[in-house]
Amino acid sequence: MKLRQRLLLSFIGVAIVVTTIFGTVAYYITINYSNEEKIHLLQFIAQKNASDLSALTKNTTNKNLIHPFSNHNFNDIFSYVLLNENNKPLARTSATSLLDLKHPLSQLNKLNFQHNNSGNLEFGHNKIYWALAKIPETKYKLLLIHSIYKNTALMQVVGSRFAITAAIIIWLAIWGALILSARFSNQLDKQNAILVHQALHDHLTDLPNRYLLYDRLQQAIYYNHHEKTPITLLLIEINRFKEIIDTLGHRSGDTLLKQISQRLKNIVFEQNTVARLDGDQFAILLNDTHEKNIDIVVKSIIKILEEPFPVDELMLETGVTIGIATFPDHGKDPDSLIRHADVALYQANKDGRSFMVYSSEADPNSIDQLTLMSDLHRALNNDELELYYQPKIDLKSHKVIGVEALIRWQHPERGFITPDYFIPMAEQSGLIKPITAWVMEQALKQNQEWEKIDIKIKMAINVSQRNLYDHQLTSQFRNLMQQMNISTHHLEIEITETAIMSDPSHSLATLHALHEMGIKLSIDDFGTGFTSLSHLKDLPIDELKIDKSFIMGMPHDDKDLAIVSTIIELAHNMGYSVVAEGVESQEIMDMLIDLKCNTVQGYYISRPLPAKMFEHWLITSGWHK
């Protein structure tokens, strides 16, 4: 039942209870009042009839009234009894009253006439009203009796008044109830509307929240289903928001978010929805969009959010990353659209791009990739994974000082799958945790084996962005090394620059913990990320590993050469050593020697090799001992 109906019913209920109470009170008052009134009337009638009888005997000496009494024309709704001076009944009229029919006259003895000249009493189911009048100038008295069946009496007395009063009260009560319920329900409607608004909007920006966005998406899909007009969902993430909060605090973060929401609202038409999902994530739902329009909106979002924001007397600059999914191409229901826009956002973030449209190939959740991930899960326990080792050469001694462990997957049906393909998927699916643990254990075991045959070199392993968020990573390393009784100085960890920079505040804690354990840290693919010099200075690292694209470009591109030379100089000035990867020729080797690079790694020296082949290479290549 609706609230409004319940309210109305309870009001009517209350009205009926009030009416009953009021009616009962009215009933008793009415009875009392009507008794007195009735007796008064009877008295009057009795006296009148007594006077009439007296008049009949005026001119006679015979004062016997029995005869005149019997002939007198009395009103036949009453009974009349002629009494002598001792109150003995002498005669009675043949009135129709129940008393006459059912009770002998002698019963009247029960009436106590002595002291009263009027009264009432009950005879079984009857109520009797009586009045006694002395017949003037005679010794007789006239008794007038009016007998009424009790219930009829009640109904007669109370009935009409009660019914009218009750009707008026109920009528008033219903009107009162209606007016009150209208007022209450008005208030309730208002409160309801406020609650609904709060449940569906973000408190800070008052933009629609995740639930309302979902609802609007559902509606948009429903209405556009037949026409198949594209609907576009943009997921927008504010870059460096966490850094801003860490530096300026949450209040400034809130001010920034409010301004961002205002700017976003300003650039889209009213039929579209701008929503805040959580933290620094916004969404825009564009109804009825065509590719050209998406492009315009995306570009204007990027442009408008690049303009500095005035926060706390500062001009803050942030950028955005946008993930895009459209209906019907990338999903036919709200869930898949949201999920796919999220995948696109993740991909854009990872590739350092400002926006990306969903593509199933990059989606770790697409069917093909899901099967591949379940295969990878199996591969972990099935000896399908193997580590290859690629040597690193010290440019002063020209000897092998370490190896980098690189994972290989020999899929039973698909053949060799490159880590560049499956590692990013493993990162997204979470499988990277067990993979890193496996690599860690294998590499350390291999290191131990080599120690036994006098190959004393450092072992470098690659650690992913996602591993840096794993609080157990450091303790895992520590336990494993303690179990195997290996010194941390044998281990080196390579982490890509983009991994560190995508969330420096998170990665920094893990990096410090690893560094404190005595593990050497190296920034991989250096030059492809966006490390600011101020960040670089705070990182607990030992080595920069220049990305192979610059190294391989050096012989024919002066800019690459300039970059490599600058990185080497910068690293040395900051006290870091430098590794060059992608060394494919003697020419590159020579250039790096000139630039005073510390270590080199690349196909020119050796491709990554399985352990046994590496041991063989070590003996035969001349880079060892």
Residues near Ca ion, by CB under 5 A = 462, 494, 524-525, 581
Alpha helical stretches, state H, 201-282: 210-224, 241-248, 250-267
> Please, which residue, 323 or 402, has the CB nearer to Ca ion?
402
- Of residues 95 and 544, the one with the C-beta less far from Ca ion: 544
Q: Under DSSP, is residue 480 helix (H, G, I), strand (E, B) or coil?
A: helix
Nearer of residues 92 and 545 to Ca ion, judged by Cβ: 545
| Residue 309 or 389 having the CB closest to Ca ion | 389
Alpha helices (runs of H) in 399-496, residue ranges in sequence order? 419-429, 432-452, 465-468, 473-484
Q: Summarize as ranges the residues that interact with ligand C2E (CB under 6 A).
A: 390, 406-407, 418-420, 423, 439, 462, 464, 494, 524-525, 548, 581-584, 602-603, 608
- What is the chain's Cα-based Rg? 53
Q: Which is nearer to ligand C2E, 136 or 419 (CB)?
A: 419
- Strand (E) or helix (H) holding 177: helix 150-200
Q: In the complex, which residue's CB is closest to ligand C2E?
A: 602
Give Cα separations from 481 to 278, 407, 474, 484 (angstroms).
Answer: 40, 20, 11, 5
584 binds, among Ca ion, ligand C2E, none (CB under 5 to 8 A by kind): ligand C2E
The listed partner (Ca ion, ligand C2E, none) that binds 481, CB under 5 to 8 Å by sort, is none
What DSSP line would sit under 24-89, residue for residue? HHHHHHHHHHHHHHHHHHHHHHHHHHHHHHHHHTTT-S----HHHHHHS---TTSEEEEE-TT--E
Give min distance, CB of 423 to ligand C2E, in A.
Answer: 5
Q: Residue 407 binds which entry of ligand C2E, Ca ion, none, with Cβ cut-offs from 5 to 8 Å by kind?
A: ligand C2E
Least spacing, CB of residue 524 vs ligand C2E, in Å: 5
603 binds, among Ca ion, ligand C2E, none (CB under 5 to 8 A by kind): ligand C2E
Nearer to ligand C2E, 78 or 422 (CB): 422
Query: What is the closest distance, in whole angstroms, from the C-beta atom of residue 550 to ligand C2E in the complex?
Result: 12
* Cross-strand pairs, 120: 129
φ, ψ at 20 (rounded to 5°): -60, -45
For residue 240, the Cα-to-chain-centroid distance in whole angstroms is 26
Strand order in the sheet with 273-278: 273-278, 281-286, 231-238, 320-327, 355-357
Q: How many CB atoms lie within 10 A of CB 481?
A: 19
Residue closer to Ca ion, measured from CB, 289 or 462:
462
Beta carbon of residue 359, minimum distance to Ca ion (angstroms, whole number): 25
Q: How far is the CB of 602 from ligand C2E (least distance, A)?
A: 3
Q: Find which of Ca ion, ligand C2E, none residue 582 binds, CB within 5 to 8 Å per kind.
A: ligand C2E
Give every CB contact of residue 623 below 8 A, 6+ residues apart in sequence: 391, 393, 398, 399, 400, 605
- For every residue of 595-618, DSSP letters joined together read TT--EEESTTT---EEHHHHHHHH
Minimum Å distance from CB 411 to ligand C2E? 15
Alpha helices, H only, 333-431 = 334-350, 367-381, 419-429
Minimum CB separation from Ca ion for residue 328, in Å?
40
Other C-beta atoms lying within 10 Å of the C-beta of residue 585: 14
Beta carbon nearer to ligand C2E, 525 or 560: 525
Question: Taking the complex as a whole, how short is the minimal distance between the CB of residue 213 and ligand C2E, in angstroms?
Answer: 35
Closest to ligand C2E by CB, 45 vs 519, is 519
Q: Which amino acid is at 306?
A: E
**Which one of ligand C2E, Ca ion, none interacts with residue 464, CB within 5 to 8 A by kind?**
ligand C2E
Q: Which two tokens stand for residue 179?
A: 């007016």
Nearest approach in angstroms of CB 593 to ligand C2E is 16
